[in-house]
Structure 1
Amino acid sequence: MSSSKDVLKQEPSIWQRLHIDPVLLLLLLLLTSGGLFVLYSASGRSVDIMTRQIIYLGIGFVVMIVFGQIPPRMYARWSLPVFLLGVLLLVGVLLFGVGAMGAQRWLAVPGMSSVRFQPSELMKLVMPMVIAWFISRSTLPPKLRHVMVALALIAIPVALIAKQPDLGTSLLIAASGVFVLFLGGLSWQLIGSAVVLAIPSGWAMWHFVMREYQKKRVLTFLDPESDRLGAGWNITQSKVAIGSGGIHGKGWMLGTQSHLDFLPESHTDFIIAVLAEEFGLTGVMCLLLIYLAIIVRGLFISVQAQTIFGRLLSGSIILTFFVYIFVNIGMVSGLLPVVGVPLPLVSRGGTSIVTLMAGFGIMMSVYTHRNLIGR
């Protein structure tokens, strides 16, 4: 008993006072710095794209530090009101949203029509937060009635986002909420029942939810050779870029698929194909090792959390980060259908970068406040 009291009485380190995890910070700096080199080549040496990316990364790191200062109990207290605000914003997108490329996913800032934001990005953080708050209020593992309420909370924003349409983001947000239930000790019987129900649900989604272009993406995934010059062009060129890189690659800014415009969206969704072509398998493995280190550190932070809410929230955030990586790489390599998910902190981005860094800030808050409870 005395030893546990001594631990609580230990003076916090300088990093803990700043509410920054130095290991996670170093890994993120390493990832984003390397990502800038790849983006510079993938964007065709565009100074404008690089400038914007650096600005967004700078904002992201500031947001991460700010979010790290907020105690986890404040996130729990405000999770439900922010969730309701997010749902209202998603409804606003359907009623007053700004459209682009056949999708209506943005809201324009009143009086500043050129400035717009995507409310679905907010839900990437709020979804696991509100589910973690709700589940942590009851005994674990969660009972069936609590699981049903949590699934209802997940279904509302997911349905609104799918309506925009943005099926990829809606499924990823649904996964972030389901991860909380899984980490909360969801019984394998319920997991098995969900898997069984997924089969008829997939049939219903195909016939009543998915748009024609989404169905075409799935069919192209199953047989990309059926339309190599049309819907299968992206995947075909991506595979060519990945395969031509070999072990060591062609060299920085010497890739042909991206620089000769064979590979579309080379600086966003398909940027890892550029990395594979220019740096080969060696470069891809280095990137994966950095990602793996970040994920392992995130899981360590989750295990070290002193509250159920902090453990569930940080665990869900890092598992969702893993899903983003898995989906993007699987999509680019032809193992998954194309859903328009960027490679985290490497692809060109704005709102997505800030959202991801805010998530890491929440994890730092959980970790650095762990011995400060009650102070």
Structure 2
Amino acid sequence: MPDTASRPGMLVQEADRFSAEGDWTLPHYARLSAVAAKARAAEEIALDRLGALDTSGASVLVDLLGADRVQEIDRWAPALPPERRSMLKAVAKAREASPPPTEPRALPILGALAELGRRVEALGRQQLQLAGFIGLTLTSLLANLPRPWRWRITALVAHIQQTGLNAIPIVALLTFLVGAVVAFLGATVLRDFGATIYTVNLVTYSFLREFGVLLAAILLAGRTASAFTAQIGAMKANEELDALRAQGLSPMELLVLPRVLAMMISLPILTLVGMLSGMLGGALVCALALDISTTQFLAILQREIPLRHFLLGIGKAPVFAFIIAVIGCLEGFKAKASAQSVGEHTTSSVVQSIFMVILLDALAAMFFMEMGW
């Protein structure tokens, strides 16, 4: 047998067969695995010029020859040393005894739990970012309040018009229709008890405490928070934020504070409009369907509805406005320089704003109930 001690293992094609030559050992395993594929269809592989051999090389040969053919190696390769034939048989037997491992089948419930965990973790990170941005906004606001020469009055007025005045028609129409629906439902239920007169209390309580501020906040979350995110996200995509910082200007002072203050001024106004429009819709239904005149409606409102309900409802408006504006601005800053990212964060700002508004309203309702207000 020729000396092949220094030669790496290889397959050499000779007519209609292959010949295994050189060292089939661990240092050459990666190369042997790569070149062995071309001998898959070979009818015969000669082993008479095989150099050094260990179990790693033997495993490649077993894959090429097949376990059944290796078990008959004494018949077709009698010139191969007995110890090598024994090694090949042992490797073939071990490969048959241990089939290739299969990936464990994952239970669907485990995948669902893993996805739930990822979503909860993402929500936690999101809330931490929101808390940090709220702190940054409050710090910037407190730093600018004692410096009137740094106030952006023009931007503030423009955003009040955009977020408040331009939204009055849609808020008034929506709350008017919801007020009419609440009155219809209340009359339908209370008629069975002969208590249709309490429809007035139902409408006024619901709009003074909840519906007035909640509907206005949800409308602004969809209408204005998305606009804030899209505007700031587009500025970031166009590198306008970098240009502001390069000029020594603060994006918080120029972009965030005017929007936050405008929302905190606009939402209480829209809340008042929503309260009045909702009660007007309820009064119209009471007058047309329940024979409760507008004069009687106003008399019940003045006599039986305490002022604290109005104060509780209007007091939630600045808090909701602050949260909506901060979320809209934060998502704009988080957007990347692509149209897809701006769209994704715009959607995220609307969803987050509505979620936070409803969550805070529920917490406020439980707190007021425990306090007896």
Q: What's the TM-score, normalizing by structure 2? A: 0.22
Bigger share in helix: 2
Q: Normalised by the size of structure 1, how large is the TM-score? A: 0.22
